[in-house]
């Protein structure tokens, strides 16, 4: 029932819903591939924006993201890795 993979486009959509559009051209408005390794703070998303985004993802996919996710996953690529790791566990279960 759960999706196999959480993609950068999914993350951008969630960020927009939870915290609004990013800043400028380098923000979530840029193409997905371009921002994979751009730090969230440079994209204009602070730690509370990420907490809120994480809560939206947890609710939708019924997973639990560790509190450290927001502090340690400083780029979309790192954030996606954590989410997908949890989703994989869910599928395996």
Least distance in angstroms from the C-beta of 49 to other proteins: 8
Name which of 19 and 87 has its Cβ closer to other proteins. 19
Q: Based on the number of CB atoms within 10 Å of its own CB, is 86 exposed (0-12), middle (13-18) or buried (19 or more)? A: buried
User: How far apart (Å, rounded) are the C-alpha atoms in residues 8 and 29?
Assistant: 12
Tell me the two tokens of residue 66.
Answer: 């560790």
Least distance in angstroms from the C-beta of 36 to other proteins: 21
Which residues sit at the interface with other proteins, rule CB under 8 A? 16, 18-23, 44, 48-49, 51-52, 55, 58-59
Least distance in angstroms from the C-beta of 88 to other proteins: 21
Name which of 16 and 77 has its Cβ closer to other proteins. 16
User: Treating both helix axes as pointing N-terminal to C-terminal, what angle do 47-61 and 8-19 enclose, rounded to 10 degrees?
Assistant: 110
Name which of 9 and 24 has its Cβ closer to other proteins. 24
Task: Name the 3-class secondary structure at 18.
Answer: helix
């Amino acid at each position: 029932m759960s999706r196999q993979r959480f993609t950068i486009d999914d993350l951008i959509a969630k960020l927009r819903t939870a915290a609004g559009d990013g800043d400028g051209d380098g923000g979530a408005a840029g193409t997905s591939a371009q921002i994979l390794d751009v730090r969230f703070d440079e994209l204009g998303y602070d730690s509370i924006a990420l907490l809120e985004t994480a809560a939206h993802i947890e609710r939708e996919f019924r997973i639990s993201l560790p509190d450290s996710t927001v502090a340690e996953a400083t780029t979309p690529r790192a954030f996606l890795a954590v989410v997908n790791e949890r989703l994989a566990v869910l599928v395996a279960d």
